[in-house]
Structure 1
Amino acid sequence: MTAPSAAVHVAEFRAERRANRLLQRIRAAASRDQLRLVQALILDHGLTQPEFSANDFRDLLPDLQHGLLGAAVRGLAASGAITATGRTAPSTSPATHGHRISVYRITAAPEETAPAA
């Protein structure tokens, strides 16, 4: 009975490692300034909105390198600047075919946070 559970955990671990490697490649290809600007926009927006998702920025940032918005959001989440609320919303990006994305909120005051670029 424990074998299927262990297999699921291994598959999840491998999927997360692949996703993290992809995010690292996206971050390496993007300029540090570009990533910081996107993260600053997310933090600024979070000060005026109690909750937000990557959907809130797609129209504001139409010419981003593929994956940069997600990398910026995940970097802020990893740094603790933003926190997932536990809710999700369908993605508005045509490339994602409406898969669910996390909804976030600001974790701390802006002077207490630093972008995870």
Structure 2
Amino acid sequence: GTSEGTVRNRVDRLRADGVIERFTVATRTGNVRAMIEVGVDVNVDTDGLTDRLVGWEPVNFVWQVSGDADIVLVVDMADTAALNALITRLRDRTEVVSTETRLILDEWLEPAEHS
């Protein structure tokens, strides 16, 4: 097998080269998962808003997208009341002009490759 030090050095190099951006653990929580599409005002600094939304605790992913929405959040909430509270928090922001929420009913993950 490969030594722990060799693996660590390879991972460090991949991180430095930008190949690996982050490490995460994917779990199935049984919570309410949703995609929230966010429309923002035309004069909004979308990068700045995206940076702020990344720091919100229940947010797993933040994407800037093309189309009717400008930003999409993927969230994992304890229940629908918590989801509704987060949507209200978003709508209370002056930059946000619209939201549309889609519940994630099921998910299929790409199987891990075995070597």
TM-score (norm 1): 0.30
Of Structure 1 and Structure 2, which has the larger fraction of its residues in strand? 2
In terms of Rg, which structure is larger?
Answer: 2
Of Structure 1 and Structure 2, which has the larger fraction of its residues in helix? 1
